[in-house]
Amino acid sequence: MQTIFIEGLQVPTLIGVYDWERTQETVLIVDLQINAHLEAAMKSDDVADTINYAAVAETVKQVGKDAQFELLEALGNAIIEAVCARFDLYKIVLRIEKPGILPDANKVGITISHEVETNA
Ligand SMILES: Nc1nc2c(c(=O)[nH]1)N=C([C@H](O)[C@@H](O)CO)CN2
């Protein structure tokens, strides 16, 4: 099993519990770790044999564009559902940061780990 990661992806989205957060999009910072079998691409050197991280990033940004959640937890769940539906993976660890929102804190956020159920 190998890992693909994306760090520091900027994801604009409408998010927040309070009215003042819902007048404009917030740019969230997303990190993703995906565990998958990459052996085929390691041998073939063909992007068709792997999880294209550009396509993952595009999927995450599209979820953000379409979403209007209040909570980071709900957005995280939507991102995980979209990525798992599109890519063949075993585990995903998602971290979403919301910078500069709390006084006296650089950033707040969540981390969600999700393992895909297999029939094996
Ligand atoms: N666990 C969470 N707590 C809070 C969230 C959240 O998404 N998850 N959001 C907010 C507000 O929208 C925040 O950004 C401003 O106070 C508060 N707590």
**What tens digit of pLDDT does each residue of 31-85 get?**
999 999 999 999 999 999 999 999 999 999 999 999 999 999 999 999 999 999 9
How would residue 104 be classed by pLDDT, with cut points 50, 70 and 90?
very high
Is 71 contained in some domain?
yes
* Position 47 in a domain: yes
Q: Whose Cα sits closest to atom 6 in ligand 1?
A: 71
Q: Which of 71, 94, 96 to mutate to test the pocket of ligand 1 (most atoms within 8 A of CB)?
A: 71
Provide the domain limits for residue 11. Answer: 2-115
The percent of residues above 90 in pLDDT, for the chain, comes to 96
pLDDT higher than threshold 80 for residue 120: no
Does the model's ipTM exceed the 0.90 cut? yes
Residue 65 lies in a domain: yes
Domain membership flag for residue 120? no
> How far is residue 71 CA from its own chain's centroid?
14
Domain tally, the chain = 1
Protein residues whose CB sits closer than 6 Å to any atom of ligand 1 = 16-18, 21, 71-73, 98, 101
98 noted as active-site residue: yes
Q: Report pLDDT for 49.
A: 97
Q: So what's the pLDDT on residue 53?
A: 98
Angle, nearest 10°, between helix axes 72-86 and 53-66?
140
CATH number for position 43? 3.30.1130.10
